[in-house]
Amino acid sequence: MNKSDTHYVRFLNVQKTYDGENLVVKNFNLDIAQGEFVTMLGPSGSGKTTCLMMLAGFESATQGEIYIDGTPVNNLAPHKRDIGMVFQNYALFPHLTIAENLSFPLKVRKLPKSDIEQRVKRALDMIELPQVAGRRPGQLSGGQQQRVALARALVFEPKLVLMDEPLGALDKQLREQMQYEIKRLHERLGITVLYVTHDQTEALTMSDRIAVFNEGVVQQLASPTELYERPSNAFVAQFIGENNKLSGQVEQINQDSCVVSVEGCSVQALPVNIRQCGEPTTLSIRPERIQINPDASYDNRFDARVLELIYHGDHLRTRVELMNHDQFIVKVPNGAHPLAISKGDQVQVGWHRRDCRALDAMIPGRP
pLDDT at 363 over 80: no
pTM score? 0.87
Every domain range in the chain assigned CATH 2.40.50.100: 242-359
* Residues paired with residue 83 on neighbouring β-strands, in sequence order: 160
Every domain range in the chain assigned CATH 3.40.50.300: 7-229
- pLDDT for res 28: 94
- pLDDT for res 67: 97
The answer as to CATH 2.40.50.100 being correct for domain 242-359 is yes
- pLDDT for res 262: 97
Nearby residues of 367 by Cβ (< 8 Å), 6 or more positions away: 43, 235, 238, 239
Contact 208, 38 (CB under 8 A): yes
Closest Cα partner for 362 from 232, 246, 200, 212?
246
* Gap between the terminal Cα atoms of the chain: 39
The alpha carbon of residue 228 and the mean position of all alpha carbons in its chain are separated, in whole angstroms, by: 11
Residue type, 144: Q
The confidence band for 336, taking pLDDT boundaries of 50, 70 and 90, is low
Distances (CA, A) of 157 to 20, 102, 150: 38, 12, 12
Contact 142, 174 (CB under 8 A): yes
The confidence band for 7, taking pLDDT boundaries of 50, 70 and 90, is confident
pLDDT, one tens digit per residue, over 86-138 is 988 878 999 999 999 999 999 989 999 999 999 999 999 988 899 999 999 99
pLDDT, one tens digit per residue, over 57-75 is 999 999 999 999 999 999 9
Task: Give the three-class secondary structure for 292.
Answer: strand
CA–CA dist 347, 189 (Å, integer): 53
CATH (residue range 7-229): 3.40.50.300
CA–CA dist 188, 165 (Å, integer): 22
Closest Cα partner for 184 from 157, 158, 206, 166?
206
pLDDT, one tens digit per residue, over 146-197 is 889 989 998 988 989 999 998 887 888 888 888 988 898 899 889 999 999 9
Closest Cα partner for 52 from 162, 160, 161, 152?
162
By CB atoms closer than 10 A (0-12, 13-18, 19+), residue 43 is middle
pLDDT at 265 over 60: yes
The confidence band for 2, taking pLDDT boundaries of 50, 70 and 90, is very low
